[in-house]
């Protein structure tokens, strides 16, 4: 069995694969102060809750956009599996899985690499990925299968947190569809601004991407907030919450 871990700034996603089948997936809060031992002790109860013995793990693959946790996760996974984890980078994916025209491939985030690898494999080319996380990332694979770049913008919850922390009279509310563009109370007004604002920003950016490419493409949404935002979009055609983990699995299978 394979352990795949996507470490984000706000949440970390953990998956266990048996061959190509994702058997279990968990989302946990990211704590940038955790040590390798603490990370390992977070993993063990999750595995045990599903009756998985660490001895059954044949390897691990890791994507991390939190540099201060990368080494700790590598150490935790080494102790847990007895092997070095495959660490996701553009170089680790290689030109066969991740051809790119990016000016500096080394600076591409691991989550962006994994998303692009999975989207190209599952949905063909061209394809666009929108990953709703701490940042809202948009990845663009052209009709030749090349990752040509994308967009990085503040995420939904990041924007909301900034608003609530700087506006003393506004309090945090649930980020859900208000079903009205004209809020008749403060909560609905905030929801319209943040939720519809995110949807229209994504649709607008995707429209600009299509115009620059000269053709349209399937648009796949992933990330923790994708199920809330994607149904309101005019351009998103598919939601796949497992996309990043699937990309990690494919990179592991190609490189391990």
Active-site annotation, residues: 111
Q: Which of 38, 25, 28, 110 is nearest to 75 (CA)?
A: 38
Please state whether the peptide bond connecting residue 126 to the residue before it is cis, i.e. omega within 30 degrees of 0.
yes
Quote the CA–CA distance of 94 and 147 in Å, as a whole number.
12
- CA dist 70 and 82 (Å) reads 17
- Both tokens of 105, joined, read 């491939």
DSSP string, 117-144: HHHHHHH-SSEEEEEESSEEEEEEE-TT
Q: How far is CA 39 from CA 2, 13, 127, 223, in A?
A: 17, 13, 35, 22
| Count of beta carbons in the 10 Å neighbourhood of residue 204 | 11
CA–CA dist 241, 221 (Å, integer): 8
Q: Show the CA angle centred on residue 143, arms to residues 6 and 153, nearest 5°.
A: 45
Query: Within 13 Å, how many C-alpha atoms sit on residue 210's CB side?
Result: 13
């Amino acid at each position: 069995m394979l352990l795949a871990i996507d470490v984000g700034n706000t949440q970390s996603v953990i998956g266990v694969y048996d061959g190509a089948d994702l058997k279990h997936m968990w989302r946990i809060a990211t704590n940038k102060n955790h040590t390798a031992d603490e990370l390992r002790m977070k993993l063990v109860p999750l595995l045990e809750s599903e009756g998985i013995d660490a001895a059954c793990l044949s390897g691990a693959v890791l994507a991390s956009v939190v540099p201060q946790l990368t080494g700790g996760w590598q150490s935790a996974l080494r102790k847990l599996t007895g092997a070095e984890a495959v660490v996701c980078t553009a170089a680790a994916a290689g030109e066969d899985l991740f051809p790119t025209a990016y000016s500096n491939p080394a600076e591409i985030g691991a989550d962006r690499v994994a998303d692009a690898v999975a989207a190209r494999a599952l949905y063909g080319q061209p394809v666009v990925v929108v990953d709703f996380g701490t940042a809202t990332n948009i990845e663009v694979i052209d009709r030749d299968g090349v990752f040509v770049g994308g967009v990085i913008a503040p995420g939904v919850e990041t924007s909301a947190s900034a608003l609530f922390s700087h506006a003393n009279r506004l309090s945090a509310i649930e980020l859900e569809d208000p079903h009205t563009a004209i809020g008749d109370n403060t909560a609905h007004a905030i929801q319209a601004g943040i939720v519809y604002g995110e949807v229209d920003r994504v649709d607008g950016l995707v429209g600009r991407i299509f115009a620059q490419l000269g053709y349209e493409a399937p648009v796949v949404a992933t990330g923790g907030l994708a199920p809330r935002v994607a149904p309101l979009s005019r351009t998103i055609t598919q939601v796949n919450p497992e996309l990043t983990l699937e990309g990690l699995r494919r990179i592991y299978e190609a490189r391990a």
